Amino acid sequence: MKRHLLEAADLDRADATLVLDTAAQIDAALAGREVKKLPTLRGRTVVNLFYEDSTRTRISFELAAKRLSADVINFSAKGSSVSKGESLKDTALTLEAMGSDAIVVRHSASGAPHRLANWVRGSVVNAGDGTHEHPTQALLDAYTIRHRLGRLEGVRVAVVGDVLHSRVARSNVRLLHTLGAEVTLVAPPTLLPVGVGSWPAEVSYDLDAVLPKADVVMMLRVQAERMNASYFPSAREYSRRYGLDAHRMGALGDDAIVMHPGPMNRGMEIAAEVADSVRSTIVEQVGNGVSVRMAVLYLLLGGRAGE
């Protein structure tokens, strides 16, 4: 494992598998236990540095760190020196001086975790940067797929929605490819980046053509504001062409699952009856997020031989 987890490409197949296996072992070790706490990272300090509001991701990382007995500091941009104009670098050096061992960073600017990694000695974990990546989300998605379907090799995953602005899509394309899955991106051409042709994924504009062959359908959040920038004509048209409703769900194979990284726009990209169906892994994904993040923190912070 590298010292930081900045993007899915930081993980080769062996590393990614190690994270998933470790998460599974942690899950098994904690299953049914009264004491859901391990002493592993006692005395280590994990800082959650969140420049964007994301309660669910922050709580997930916080729980993961606390279950490993790390000390957790939540450093939110709002109401802190950050909002008073302190630079990312100065914040990084401050946290460094306070002895943080890992910084979990969420930032609206793509590449901010890469910058941070240049300025601190500890590990940096990307918890979502701009429209770049969100590697732990991809890890928990891969974990969920493997758990549900028993494998990743050859699994056909359709990623549907606003790929252009999605860090979840970028991380998933890279990680799922690394792990042997076959990804198809489905979106209107306006919501696919120029250059998507160089990604290790197929591209389709036609959701109905893709669904029957998919083992996994991963719906991405689509923000209605995109409509104002002419990415699509109306929410209704988007939903009609790219939304997953009960009728479309009927085209899926028997064992196919439906995923969503959350938060959902029910009625926009996903219908309520789909989100609440037995195919849906949406709640499961949240729980798996904690195990996967525990595995990541353990593997990054546990220490390296000879250090």
Partner 1 sequence: MSTLITGARPYGEDAADILVEDGRIAAIGASLSVPGADVVDAAGLVALPGLVDLHTHLREPGREDAETVETGSRAAALGGYTAVHAMANTDPVADTAGVVEQVWRLGQEAGLVDVVPVGAVTVGLRGERLAELGAMADSAARVRVFSDDGHCVADPALMRRALEYVKALDGVVAQHAEEPRLTVGAQMHEGDRSARLGLTGWPAAAEEAIIARDVLLADHVGARLHVCHVSTAGSVEILRWAKSRGVQVTAEVTPHHLLLTDECAEGYDPVFKVNPPLRTDADVEALRAGLAEGVIDAVATDHAPHAVEDKETEWAHARPGMLGLEQALSVVVATMLETGRLDWRGVADRMSTRPAAIGRLDGRGLEAHGRPLAPGEPANLLLLDPGARAVVDPAALASRSRNSPYAGRELPGRVVATFLRGVPTVLDGKAQK
Partner 2 sequence: MARTTEHAHGDAASPSAVLSAADVTRVVDRMAHQLIEKCAGDDGRADVVLVGIPTRGAPLARRLAARVEAFSGFPVDVGTVDITLYRDDLRMRGVRALEETVLPEGGIDGRLVVLVDDVLYSGRSVRAALDALRDLGRPRAVQLAVLVDRGHRELPIRADYVGKNLPTSRSQSVRVRLAEVDGEDAVLVTGGEQ
What residue numbers does the annotated binding site for carbamoyl phosphate cover? 56-57, 106, 134, 137, 262-263
Q: Distance (Å, rounded) from C-alpha 115 to C-alpha 164?
A: 22
Does the annotation mark 248 as catalytic? no
CA distance 156 to 290: 25
Query: Of 189-197, 203-211, 240-248, 252-260, which part binds partner 1 (CB under 8 A)?
Result: 189-197
Q: Which residues bind partner 2 (CB under 8 A)?
A: 1, 18, 21-22, 25-26, 28-29, 33, 35, 37-40, 68, 298-299, 302-307
**Token reading at 268:** 């926009």
Amino acid residing at 29: A
Looking at residues 33 to 52 of the shown chain, list those that interact with partner 1 (rule: CB under 8 A). none
Active site residue 147: no
* Whether 56 is catalytic: yes
* Residue 54 CB contacts under 8 Å (≥ 6 apart), including other chains: 106, 127, 128
Annotate each residue in 62-91 with x if it binds partner 1 (CB under 8 A) or - if it does not, as one string: -------------------------xxx--
- CA 27/CA 41 separation, integer angstroms: 17
Which is it for strands 71-76 and 45-50: parallel, antiparallel or unpaired? Answer: parallel
93: enclosing H helix or E strand: helix 88-97
Interface pick for partner 1 out of 30, 73, 109, 286 (rule CB under 8 A): 109
Smallest gap, in angstroms, from Cβ of residue 300 to partner 2? 8
Q: Is 136 a residue of the active site?
A: no
Per-residue DSSP letter, 216: E
Catalytic-role residue among 44, 67, 134, 293: 134
Query: Using CA atoms, how far apart are residues 173 and 185, in angstroms rounded to an integer?
Result: 9
Candidates 18-26, 70-78, 104-112, 284-292 — which segment interacts with partner 1 by CB under 8 A?
A: 104-112
* Identity of the amino acid at 238: Y
Query: Residue 76 binds which entry of partner 2, partner 1, none, with Cβ cut-offs from 5 to 8 Å by kind?
Result: none
Contact predicate 234/214, CB 8 Å: no
Give the torsion through C-alpha atoms of 183, 189, 190, 192, to 10 deg: 20
111 sits near partner 1 (criterion: CB under 8 A) = yes
Q: Give bridge partners of residue 126 from the DSSP assignment.
A: 105
Binding site residue list: 56-57, 84, 106, 134, 137, 167, 221, 262-263
Cα 82 from Cα 67, distance rounded (Å): 28
Among 37-45, 126-134, 256-264, 269-277, which window interacts with partner 1 (CB under 8 A)? 126-134
Cα-based distances in Å from 10 to 2, 5, 72, 148, 150: 7, 6, 24, 25, 24
Residue 22 binds which entry of partner 1, partner 2, none, with Cβ cut-offs from 5 to 8 Å by kind?
A: partner 2
End-to-end CA distance of the chain: 14
Q: Is 2 in the site for partner 1 (CB under 8 A)?
A: no
Of residues 22, 57, 91, 144, which has the active-site annotation?
57
Can you tell me which of 67, 106, 132, 221 binds partner 1, judged by CB under 8 A?
132
Known active-site residue 36: no
Annotated catalytic residue, options 106, 107, 132, 279 = 106
Residues contributing to the site for partner 1 (CB under 8 A): 87-89, 107-112, 114-115, 129-133, 167, 170, 193-199
Catalytic residue IDs = 56-57, 84, 106, 134
